[in-house]
Structure 1
Amino acid sequence: MSLANAAAVLHWLKRDRRDVAVGELSTAMGWPKSSSSRLLKDMARLGLLERDEATRRYRAGLLMLELGRQYSAGEPLLEAADAELQEITRQTGYSTGISMLDGTDIVVLRSRPGTHPLRVVTPPGTRGPAAANSTGRVLLARLPDDEIRRRFTPFPAPPRPNAPGDVADLMARVQKARVLGFDESNDESLAGLCGISVAIGEQSHGLGYAPYIAFSAAQLEPGERRRLAAMLVDMAARLSERFGDVRPAPPLQRRAHG
């Protein structure tokens, strides 16, 4: 089994695909059907994939799930942010979570459901477009402008009408996030889904993480949204002082929303 080919399969699966059949993989990759079948069987034997005997389709195996849990387990900054979000969920009843940036996507690392009837739940491992999520934009805001433009050229098709329509629109929203110290998305990646996010990180951790509060578009008035944004900005300030974030939220904006 070629390690490069196995990695190519995993990268292909992570792009909004839950499973794959031998013929689909062969067509997508341009590989012979026999080679595709052999590779999938080898990956299943090693625990990278598992096969549904009824459908004969392959999906990510238990080993990948275990590795995903280990990837973020025990990091002090992540655990501290998760503890703060647990308290925010307790106080407000809204769903919270933490995402990280991967290229032009965001990936959910932690997710906690709220207690409101209209609760928003995004399971860990879920991927989404960074340009159309507040979590993605606050993390992109920590990159140089040239790097953002490079990643989003060509610009992907917006998933919803409210999402950024081109690089210029994305850059304007990223710059706003830099000024405010937080970002808000509204019906951009999924219908009716809204979120407010901040970015946290350590000098040794690169871009870091994006803690967020998620809710339905029908749930919150502007005043309540400002209150939630202030809670996240204050949380980011506390964590940046504790862990030495080199790019904390702007102090003037923290006072303005406090």
Structure 2
Amino acid sequence: MPDKPQVPAADQTLRILALLGRSRGPVAASSMATALGLPRSSVYHLLATMQEHGFVVHLPEQRRWGLGTAAAELAGGFNRQQPLARLGGPVAAALADRTGESTHIAMLTGRDVIYIVEERAPRRPALVTDVGVRLPAHLTATGRAMLAGVGAAQLRALYPDAASFSTRTERGPRSPRELRDVLREVRRIGYAFEDGEVTLGMRSVAVAVRDHTGWPIAAVAVTWSDDAERDADAMIAAVQDSADRLARRIG
């Protein structure tokens, strides 16, 4: 007999989304309840919450429910990440070999970055940038490298006020103006840098990877500890070369 889920509501929500994903069209709530063995009241409550977040839409004329735009965005994100991860893996591995430090590739999603590739160098400190991890974009080198390439209107929409900013180590920009200053410098020098803003004692440098339209589709970075004697200029050059290589690989 399978173990009971530790978070029943999350389990039920995912089962509903999976059922809708398998179905050929919209499904009635009563049919979902029957198919999944769930109380109708629970299904209606979960659907209402998912509707608020855009994962499902209600079709009142048909009395049925279908997948919403947020679910489509998840699928689109997966379709974008998979090819980039395949193409970026060898690039990150070569960068780790060249620098002797751990490397990663991330994508921008809202105000976060999500790490899609990580190559850990031997005998180097463990990082928080595992594949699938999300971190605030304004604190990370990869996030800043990509944010420097978005338009002013989108940046204002992402970071409208000071409440949009979080910290991990009490370092980093705390307001839209401070972030604009950081990104202005990134655009000027062509790469992004962070020092202890994600993890104290660690620093990173990143360069954006642009697609054929000029959009920052990803960023490549290398991270090293304060006590490692590294030539910063050499690290920057290595990351720039790797970003250029990945850009060529994605065409």
- The TM tier, using the shorter chain, reads 0.5 to 0.7
Superposed, 1:35-54 pairs within 5 Å as 37=9, 40-41=11-12, 43-44=14-15
Query: Aligned partners of 1:113 and 1:150: how far apart in 2?
Result: 35
Query: Aligned partners of 1:182 and 1:217: how far apart in 2?
Result: 19
User: Contact 2:139 / 2:198 at 8 angstroms: preserved in 1?
Assistant: yes
User: Contact 1:111 / 1:124 at 8 angstroms: preserved in 2?
Assistant: yes
C-alpha distance 89-47 of structure 1, shift in aligned 2 (>3 A)? same
Q: 1:149 aligns with which of 151, 156, 163?
A: 156
Offset at 1:171? 0.8
Runs of 5+ unmatched residues, structure 1: 1-18, 23-36, 49-66, 245-258
1:163 is matched with: 172
1:202 is matched with: 211
Aligned residues: 189
Query: Aligned partners of 1:150 and 1:45: how far apart in 2?
Result: 31
Query: Aligned partners of 2:189 and 2:244: how far apart in 1?
Result: 13
Offset at 1:81? 3.5
Superposed, 1:174-185 pairs within 5 Å as 174-185=183-194
Offset at 1:92? 2.2
SS in 1 for 2:210: coil
TM, length-normalised to structure 1: 0.63
Offset at 1:206? 4.0
Structure index of larger Rg: 2
Query: Aligned partners of 1:170 and 1:205: how far apart in 2?
Result: 21
User: Contact 1:199 / 1:208 at 8 angstroms: preserved in 2?
Assistant: yes
Query: Aligned partners of 1:204 and 1:117: how far apart in 2?
Result: 36
SS in 2 for 1:229: helix
SS in 2 for 1:40: helix
1:90 is matched with: 97
Superposed, 1:59-74 pairs within 5 Å as 72-74=81-83
TM, length-normalised to structure 2: 0.65
Query: Aligned partners of 1:239 and 1:96: how far apart in 2?
Result: 14
Aligned partner letter, 1:43: L
Identity of aligned residues (%): 22
2:34 is matched with: none
1:252 is matched with: none
Query: Aligned partners of 2:80 and 2:250: how far apart in 1?
Result: 19
1:104 is matched with: 111
Query: Aligned partners of 2:15 and 2:214: how far apart in 1?
Result: 33
Query: Aligned partners of 2:7 and 2:245: how far apart in 1?
Result: 48
Offset at 1:118? 2.7
1:248 is matched with: none
User: Contact 1:114 / 1:120 at 8 angstroms: preserved in 2?
Assistant: no
User: Contact 1:198 / 1:233 at 8 angstroms: preserved in 2?
Assistant: yes
Aligned partner letter, 1:170: L
User: Contact 1:84 / 1:235 at 8 angstroms: preserved in 2?
Assistant: yes
Question: Which 10-residue stretch deviates more, 182-191 or 151-160?
Answer: 151-160
Residue 128, structure 1, aligned to residue 135, structure 2: yes
Deviations 1:171-225 (A, max 9, x none): 111111111111111110233332110001212694311111112233245xx12
Offset at 1:72? 2.5
Residue 232, structure 1, aligned to residue 203, structure 2: no
Query: Aligned partners of 1:113 and 1:137: how far apart in 2?
Result: 22
Offset at 1:151? 0.8
Deviations 1:57-114 (A, max 9, x none): xxxxxxxxxx887652334xx5444322211211222101100001111100111111
Query: Aligned partners of 2:250 and 2:16: how far apart in 1?
Result: 42
